[in-house]
Structure 1
Amino acid sequence: MTFVPAGSTARSPWALWITPETAGWAYTGLRVLCLSGESVDFTTGDEEMLVLPLSGSCEVRCDGVRLVLHGRTSVFSEVSDFIYLPVGATVRITGSGRFALPAARARRSFPVRYGAARDVPVEIRGAGQATRQVNNFCAPDAFDCDRLVAVEVLTPGGNWSSYPPHKHDTASACEAVLEEIYYFEGGPGYQRVYGGHETLTEVAGGDVVLVPRGYHGPSMAAPGYDLYYLNVLAGPAEKRTMACADDPRHAWVRSSWAEQAIDPRVPMAKAPR
């Protein structure tokens, strides 16, 4: 596990710059772009990417295609629209706000396309103090691309998510080995990673946890403070998946949800109709 504190990798106007090379692994990346009305040009290289507004709105021009993201006020206010960027693309983003660019090293090129907020599957997962909201905007069954998987998780203050603890790095127990990034907003909260190297770290807005292997979870939102994280995953498998193996000591927790009420604070961020 690697903890990247907010601001430690700033490259103006890029507030965060994680590539497979800087992470020390093979597939998964994430950038965060901060704009105040200006434009930024870049190329995607051998990575497929998404443009996901964390706050604000923007115009995206990619290989002659112009698309507009309406965005949102904050990650806690509503579900956002997003754009897919293929490998080998030339991109210009113009706007005001903060924008996450989840990325994965890819083999195939898909067309540039727009993902509407109203089409994002919103899932309420867990129950009781393990209730959370999952926005499955780029889950394997929700949006088609090569290797990239990305979802948003919103956890009300005092609740636990990414629970029971699970891992993606045992091929015999899962369909694929996955590298995973947690990018946080809100908080403070706490993130646990264990299984070889035990870490429990405090996280807040802009912090990042890289999980190349091992059990991870829970993500704990401190009472009174809602917690958001963007999960970005990718791996070598031919078929995209979020398959995982629960820590067998805690797997029983899932069956307990049937007897508990769902926390009425979710959904926290709603998709437009």
Structure 2
Amino acid sequence: MKHHLRAGSTADGPYRLVITPESAGWAYASLRVLELPEAGEAAFGTGEYETIVLPLAGSCTVTCDGERYELRGRRDVFSRVSDFAYVPRDARVTVAGEGRFALAGARCTRRLVPRYVPAEDVPVELRGAGHASRQVNNFGTPEGFPYAEKLIACEVLTPGGCWSSYPPHKHDEETAAEAVLEEIYYFEVAPGPRGRPGMAYQRVYGSPGRPIDVLAEVRDGDAVLIPHGWHGPSMAVPGHDLYYLNVMAGPSPERAWRICDDPAHGWIRETWPGQPVDPRLPLTSSQERT
């Protein structure tokens, strides 16, 4: 399995990124990134997948099962927390507008009801401290959005020079402390002066008896697949803030994000109470950043 997918390497028609369970070699999690020109439109069936339509840049109208949702969206992922729409499996959906839109999906069995969530209702959390500070927008987590069957999703924004997804953690065993979840990381990197492109780094390594070894230089539009193993840190280089969208799903009957820290690095959490959170956070809110 190829774990680091470079921007454009899986493009198909209007989709700049296509990750299916079949292409990833697993069973549940999926992600497509749809790009629409001015007055563009795309129609698709959700099939077996419950899906969240999340604007990354731009705005759109989502139509599903006779319901119509106007997504205000945002200029880009570094400007604002976005509103979003949840559409169920076995639905016909139309997305009309201009911009770039994530379609985060999970194979599921129940057909639930479509929903719209405004940006003001998305829980924003600051995690870590010091150089391990980050912002998490919990738009699709079990606590932030309890209306899905399998899909878990969130956005993480990391100021330049900070590490997130740290300490490294895993979720590849079904235990009281851990849930089995496949995971996709989709990255966008804030440009530097005069629009110069940035970069970041992502580490994934093996857990006992399950080898995997990834140290990827990621750039705008890249994705990393995590079927198992310890993952983290996600490293934002100085001068370039880092965004990533996490999409998770798995076989557990309980929709839960339970993780286990790498015991070699979990001690770092004990240092956070004595440190301030990076003062640049939060990078975004429900109000447009100028």
- What are the Cα deviations for residues 24-53 of structure 1, in whole angstroms up to 9, with x where unaligned? 100000000000121111100000000000
Q: Name the SS for the 1:252 alignment partner.
A: helix
Q: Give the whole-Å Cα distance in 1 for the aligned partners of 2:154 and 2:125.
A: 11
TM-score (norm 1): 0.98
Contact (CA 8 Å) 1:173, 1:245: kept in 2 or not? no
Which residue is equivalent to 1:269? 284
After superposition, what is the alpha-carbon deviation per residue over 1:219-249, rounded to whole angstroms, capped at 9, x for unaligned? 0001111000000000011111111000000
Residue 68 (structure 1) aligned to one of 64, 67, 70? 70
CA separation in 1, counterparts of 2:161 and 2:89?
Answer: 40
Tell me which residue corresponds to 1:123: 125
Runs of 4+ in 1 over 4 A off after TM superposition: none
Q: 1:128-164 deviations in whole A, cap 9, x for unaligned?
A: 0000000000111111200000000000000000000
Measure the CA separation in 2 of the matches of 1:129 and 1:103: 32
The residue aligned with 1:163 is: 166
Give 1:203 shift: 0.5
SS in 1 for 2:157: strand
Higher alpha-carbon deviation: 46-55 or 107-116: 107-116
| Residue 61 (structure 2) aligns with | 59
Question: Shift of the alpha carbon at 1:173?
Answer: 6.1
1:191 aligns with 202
How do 1:82-101 and structure 2 match up within 5 A? 82-101=84-103
Amino acid at match of 2:279: P
Counterpart of 2:36?
A: 35
Distance 1:192 1:262, change over 3 A: same
Give the unaligned 5+ runs of structure 1: none
Q: Secondary structure at the match of 1:6?
A: coil
SS of the equivalent of 1:228 reads: strand
Q: What percentage of residue pairs aligned between the two structures are identical?
A: 58
Which residue identity lines up with residue 200 of structure 2 in the other structure?
A: G
Gaps of 5+ in 2: 190-197
Secondary structure in 2 matching 1:197: strand
SS in 2 for 1:225: coil
- SS of the aligned residue for 1:255 comes to helix
Count of residue correspondences:
273
